[in-house]
């Protein structure tokens, strides 16, 4: 890494540094162009009720295929967008698009929770809540069908101000989840202060279940904590039956992961939902849920 010696003086120079900077600038430029040309897409990953095997919701995940660079993952471009502030415009598009798709499904009689990731930079914009309120007012999606996935980092910054903002969001009728729970800060006091609906157990605690004793203990503790606080709890990154069986036995409510499906195009999601059944839909699935 680059070491700093005094203010603004860099001790070491690595050629890699320029490449990184160039890549970042290139990505920043390409992202702005992609948004203007409507080349971002949302893909929808099913969230499944562990007990019934039915689909209860989706998480909207950004997808971007650049003409020259090919498919670029959110893990690569979101941090850059957060640094440059572009996430504000991008996050605004994500909310708008997720609400549009959620509304369309709702009007088709498909009952789902639409979960949307909200970055800390976006959440802290003074216009965030008013802008979301406008989008909801202009949409026929019931606000209760929209869930915002917040990270722990949002919740520990200026607690009093955050509480006011979360209350305002809940007053709009939307639901609030903590994403990647357990990877941020260990201060649990916010769990009782903030008006939350759901915890998402981070994939890093799910991956080695049930063999890794520490992960098993952490996952179980998070599930028990959620239940005691009357929050729903969903595990992310579930890839096999063993993980699912462990989570079900431990009392987890829901899961999301490749075991069911990756994030899908809307049409592919609908096909899948038809196949395995929706929690709130009346028709029973023709095949038994894979439980």
What does the binding site for Mg ion look like in residue numbers (CB under 5 A)?
Answer: 117, 149, 179-180, 236
Give which of 241, 216, 225, 110 is closest to 178, Cα–Cα: 225
49 binds, among Mg ion, ligand C2E, none (CB under 5 to 8 A by kind): none
Nearer to ligand C2E, 87 or 278 (CB): 87
HEC-encoded secondary structure of the chain: CCCECCCCCECCCCHHHHHHHHHHHHHHHHHHHHHHCCCEEEEEEEEEECCCCCEEEEEEEEEEEECCCEEECHHHHHHHHHHHCCHHHHHHHHHHHHHHHHHHHHHCCCCCEEEEECCHHHHCCCCHHHHHHHHHHCCCCCHHHEEEEECHHHHHCCHHHHHHHHHHHHHHCCEEEEEEECCCCCCCHHHHHCCCCEEEECHHHHCCCCCCHHHHHHHHHHHHHHHHCCCEEEEECCCCHHHHHHHHHHCCCEEECCCCCCCECHHHHHHHHHHHCECCCCCCCCCCCCC
In the list 97, 208, 239, 268, the residue contacting ligand C2E (rule: CB under 6 A) is 239
CB of 203: closest distance to Mg ion in angstroms?
5
Q: Quote the longest CA-to-CA distance of the chain.
A: 69
Residue 88 sits in the site that holds ligand C2E (CB under 6 A): no
Residue 75 sits in the site that holds ligand C2E (CB under 6 A): yes
Instruction: Say how far apart CA 32 and CA 36 lie, in whole Å.
Output: 6
- Site pattern 202..221 for ligand C2E (x: CB under 6 A): -x------------------
- Site pattern 139..178 for ligand C2E (x: CB under 6 A): ----------x-----------------------------
Residue 258 sits in the site that holds ligand C2E (CB under 6 A): yes
∠ CA 231-233-238, nearest 5°, is 175
Residue 240 sits in the site that holds ligand C2E (CB under 6 A): no
Residue 78 sits in the site that holds ligand C2E (CB under 6 A): yes
Nearer to ligand C2E, 156 or 259 (CB): 259
139 binds, among Mg ion, ligand C2E, none (CB under 5 to 8 A by kind): none
Q: Are 141 and 106 in contact (CB under 8 A)?
A: yes
Nearer to ligand C2E, 4 or 241 (CB): 241
Residue 8 sits in the site that holds ligand C2E (CB under 6 A): no
Nearer to ligand C2E, 248 or 281 (CB): 248
Q: Are 248 and 219 in contact (CB under 8 A)?
A: no
User: Total number of residues binding ligand C2E (CB under 6 A)?
Assistant: 25
Residue 179 sits in the site that holds ligand C2E (CB under 6 A): yes
In the list 34, 62, 135, 231, the residue contacting ligand C2E (rule: CB under 6 A) is 62
Residue 102 sits in the site that holds ligand C2E (CB under 6 A): no
In the list 57, 102, 237, 277, the residue contacting ligand C2E (rule: CB under 6 A) is 237
In the list 27, 30, 61, 135, the residue contacting ligand C2E (rule: CB under 6 A) is 61
By CB under 6 A, name the binding residues for ligand C2E.
45, 61-62, 73-75, 78, 91, 94, 117-119, 149, 179-180, 203, 236-239, 256-258, 262-263
């Amino acid at each position: 890494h680059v070491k700093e010696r005094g203010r603004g003086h860099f001790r070491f120079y690595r050629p890699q540094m320029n490449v990184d900077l160039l890549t970042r600038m290139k990505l920043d430029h390409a992202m702005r162009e992609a948004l203007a040309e409507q080349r971002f897409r949302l893909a929808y990953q099913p969230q499944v009720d562990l007990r019934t095997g039915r689909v209860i919701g989706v998480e909207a995940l950004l997808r971007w295929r650049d003409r020259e660079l090919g498919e670029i993952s959110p893990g690569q471009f979101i941090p850059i967008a957060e640094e440059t502030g572009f996430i504000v415009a991008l996050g605004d598009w994500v909310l708008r698009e997720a609400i549009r798709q959620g509304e369309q499904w709702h009007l088709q009689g498909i009952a789902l929770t639409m979960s949307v990731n909200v970055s800390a930079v976006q959440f802290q914009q003074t216009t965030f809540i008013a802008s979301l309120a406008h989008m909801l007012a202009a949409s026929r999606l019931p606000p209760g069908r929209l869930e915002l996935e917040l990270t722990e980092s949002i919740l520990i910054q200026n607690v009093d101000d955050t509480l006011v903002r979360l209350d305002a969001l809940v007053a709009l009728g939307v639901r609030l989840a903590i994403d990647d729970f357990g990877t941020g800060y260990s201060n649990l006091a916010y769990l009782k202060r903030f008006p939350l609906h759901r915890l998402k157990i981070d994939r890093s605690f799910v991956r080695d279940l049930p063999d890794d004793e520490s992960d098993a203990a952490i996952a179980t503790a998070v599930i028990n904590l959620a239940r005691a606080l009357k929050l729903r709890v969903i595990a992310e990154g579930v890839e096999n039956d063993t993980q699912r069986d462990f989570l079900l036995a431990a009392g987890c409510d829901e899961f999301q992961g490749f075991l069911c499906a990756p994030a899908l195009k809307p049409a592919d999601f609908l096909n899948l939902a038809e196949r395995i059944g929706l929690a709130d839909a009346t028709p029973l699935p023709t095949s038994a849920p894979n439980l």
